[in-house]
Amino acid sequence: MNRILQILSLSILIFLYSCDPDQNSNINQGPDTITIDSLKIHRKVLIIGIDGFRSDVMQESMTPFMFALQNKNSYYNVIHETEEITYSGPNWTSMLTGVNQNKHNVLDNSFENYNYNDYPPFFYYLNQANIGIQTSSIVNWTPINNYVLSDYSDYAPENSMNDLTVFENAKQILLEENPLDVDVLFLQFDELDGAGHSYGFSPTTEEYVNTANTIDSYASELYNIIENKRLKGEDWMFTIISDHGGEGTSHSDGSHPDVNRTIFFAEHPDIQFKADCCYFSNQADLAPTVFDFIGVSSSHFNNNTDGLTIIE
Ligand SMILES: [Zn+2]
């Protein structure tokens, strides 16, 4: 607690300093002001990223866990809006940085022009808070860790692994705190995107639906682990998000509604979320939602972000 009070005092000092009008020529100039809400900072977040989830497979017969999750105390949006460029790279980067593609500048899957100096991933700010928040990212599609998260994560393997191994790693972390007692855990499953490219992104394609069903069962088991942790007093928000849908065997045509609409879920037993009927999320909303939930605020991030928290 003393540490938190020190940070709060320091934050107030930094804030006064950064109010100098001469500092405003560049949004990232001047020291960052990071504040911590001591009432929220113990909270934890699981983010399940599913690559290529076209939201019309969220049917009871195909993804029963996600279908039932709608009836929990949750936010869900099956027309969650993608970036204009509907490749994986731009969309995962928008989720993880809280800004749109015109700022982070990841416009394809090469990540070669990523402006990480101005728009680092939200894990960066959790590091800057310097209060021991433990972060981990376990991904099948390794560019996410290679280019965006690994420099700022406490545990983010950069070797390729299949979805089952992502799932097994996640279980090991959550159940055994091995190799870390995680506060924010990001996962990315990629085999649904692979099934879409090979067989077609569609609720009428058996391979695509079967893969969605398998990932749904992983999400269900991880949710049960989170529920058990809640019974032990841990305060977790559970989220599921996807980067894009698909049409035919492609997801490059962002004008197609089945490509540019995907899914975003957030669930917590007693958080008030923005009504799912009336607020339509986009990729930049994930990071501000995580910050809002765990009570971390950065002035640089707040100045930059294109997203909004979905928590009321
Ligand atoms: Zn993708």
From the CA of 248, how far away is ligand 1's center (Å)? 14
From the CA of 152, how far away is ligand 1's center (Å)? 22
What percent of the residues of the chain are helix, what percent strand, and what percent coil, each to the nearest 5?
A: 45, 15, 40
Whole-number Å distance between alpha carbons of 60 and 234: 29
Among 232, 238, 296, residue whose Cα is nearest residue 38: 296
From the CA of 150, how far away is ligand 1's center (Å)? 19
From the CA of 246, how far away is ligand 1's center (Å)? 9
- pLDDT tens, residue by residue, 157-198: 999 999 999 999 999 999 999 999 999 999 999 999 999 999
> How many Cβ atoms are within 10 Å of 208's Cβ, its own excluded?
27
Task: Specify the pLDDT at position 3.
Answer: 46
From the CA of 190, how far away is ligand 1's center (Å)? 7
Model confidence at 304: pLDDT above 90? yes
From the CA of 49, how far away is ligand 1's center (Å)? 10
Model confidence at 237: pLDDT above 60? yes
> 30-34, 85-89, 170-174, 302-306: which range is least confident on average?
30-34
From the CA of 5, how far away is ligand 1's center (Å)? 42
Task: Specify the pLDDT at position 26.
Answer: 53
Average pLDDT over residues 135-148: 98
Task: Specify the pLDDT at position 39.
Answer: 97
From the CA of 23, how far away is ligand 1's center (Å)? 38
Average pLDDT over residues 79-106: 98
Average pLDDT over residues 293-310: 97
pLDDT band at residue 4 under the 50/70/90 scheme: very low
Average pLDDT score, the chain? 92
Among 146, 92, 85, 159, residue whose Cα is nearest residue 122: 92
Model confidence at 214: pLDDT above 50? yes
Task: Specify the pLDDT at position 28.
Answer: 74
Task: Specify the pLDDT at position 277.
Answer: 85
Average pLDDT over residues 128-148: 97
- pLDDT tens, residue by residue, 5-35: 444 444 433 343 333 333 334 557 789 999 9
Which CA distances in Å does 53 have to 25, 161, 209, 236, 276?
41, 19, 10, 23, 19
Task: Specify the pLDDT at position 30.
Answer: 83
Average pLDDT over residues 106-135: 96
Model confidence at 47: pLDDT above 50? yes
> How many Cβ atoms are within 10 Å of 34's Cβ, its own excluded?
23
In the chain, the domains with their CATH numbers are 2-304 (3.40.720.10)
pLDDT band at residue 144 under the 50/70/90 scheme: very high
From the CA of 132, how far away is ligand 1's center (Å)? 31
Q: Which two tokens stand for residue 267?
A: 């669930």
Largest CA distance in the chain: 60
From the CA of 156, how far away is ligand 1's center (Å)? 19
From the CA of 62, how far away is ligand 1's center (Å)? 20
**Residues with beta carbon < 5 A to ion ligand 1?**
51-52, 88, 193, 243
Task: Specify the pLDDT at position 27.
Answer: 59
From the CA of 87, how far away is ligand 1's center (Å)? 6
